[in-house]
A and B are shown apart, each in its own frame.
Chain A
Amino acid sequence: MKPTLSLGIWLLILALCTGCVVLGKNTEYQPFDPALLEPLLPGQSKAADVCKVLGAPSQVVELSNGNAYVYQRSVIKGTGVWLVLVSFLNGEEQHDRVVFFFDKNDLLTHYGMSLNAAKASYGFPF
């Protein structure tokens, strides 16, 4: 390979690889500890018991036969890569969420839990 061509290719590679990478993470509150939920029993626990263990809910929804208390924590992970002409940005948001269902007497009837916040990951948008 001719020296000029070789130099040119190295210059091109150097130029195209110039850029920066950013990794960011945003966490909203702390993750749930499933062990905290063990004393909460459907048919026995009241809304006040749930609030005593988990604190104030993120959201309260009035339902046709009672209320739902929603507890949510979020993790967002973002990745950014800026090259000379091209940039890639990616974000992933996952949640830990527990929803408690209460009847009209504030008695816990059911609850459902999804723990996905730890699954948020860095990556590329392709």
Chain B
Amino acid sequence: MASRSKLIATLAFFLMPLLLPGCITYQLLGGVEGGEVAYPSDRLVAGKTTLGEVLVLLGAPDKVERVEGGDLLIYQRAVLKRNQLSVGIPLAEFWRPGIDLAAYGALVRYDRLVLLFTPEGILSGAAYEKSSDHPYWKAMTSNS
């Protein structure tokens, strides 16, 4: 008798994954847009470095924008990560409301270099942010 219930328990354990599809699913989604963004701070000198030198050094920017008092060159890389866990019992055939729970967290992190140029094409300011290294779970669990 004991061996029979052990067999049933073993079979139930191994067959459970066959019954679970549609009930529990975990999805991991990732995405990257853009190449690595470098910040050679020693070669970017405000008041000295020219637009031409930046284009040779960093290549074409991802965005070009006009702002008051000059122009912006933006180099950017976006990194997406999304986790989703869904738990549902497909009872729609018998009970319309059913049970379906899902939780997900999506995070887009940016590496971004913004360079401001005067109308004459001289670098007047630079800002750099690298957030792709920021831990996913720390970002998702923080309140800020």
The residues of A with any CB-CB pair to B shorter than 8 Å are 4-5, 8-9, 11-12, 15-16, 42, 61-65, 68, 70, 84-95, 97-99, 101, 109-114, 116, 119, 124-126
B101 at interface, CB cutoff 8 A: no
The residues of B with any CB-CB pair to A shorter than 8 Å are 7, 10-11, 13-15, 17-18, 20-21, 24-35, 51-52, 54-56, 58-62, 64-66, 69-71, 81, 119-121
Nearest-neighbour CB distance to chain A for B105, whole angstroms, equals 13
Nearest-neighbour CB distance to chain B for A54, whole angstroms, equals 13
* A-B interface pairs (CB < 8 A), number: 124
- A12, A88, A95: the one within 8 Å of B34 (CB): A95
A65 and B51 CA atoms in complex are apart in Å by: 12
Q: Are B7 and A4 in contact (CB under 8 A)?
A: yes
What are 28 inter-chain pairs, A to B, with CB distance below 8 A?
Answer: A4-B10, A5-B10, A11-B15, A11-B18, A12-B17, A62-B66, A65-B120, A84-B17, A85-B21, A85-B26, A87-B27, A88-B27, A93-B32, A93-B34, A94-B33, A94-B35, A95-B62, A97-B59, A99-B61, A110-B52, A110-B55, A111-B55, A114-B60, A116-B34, A119-B35, A124-B30, A125-B29, A125-B81
Q: Which of chain A's residues have a CB closer than 8 A to the CB of B61?
A: 99, 112
Q: Are B64 and A68 in contact (CB under 8 A)?
A: yes
Nearest-neighbour CB distance to chain A for B81, whole angstroms, equals 7
A124 and B69 CA atoms in complex are apart in Å by: 44
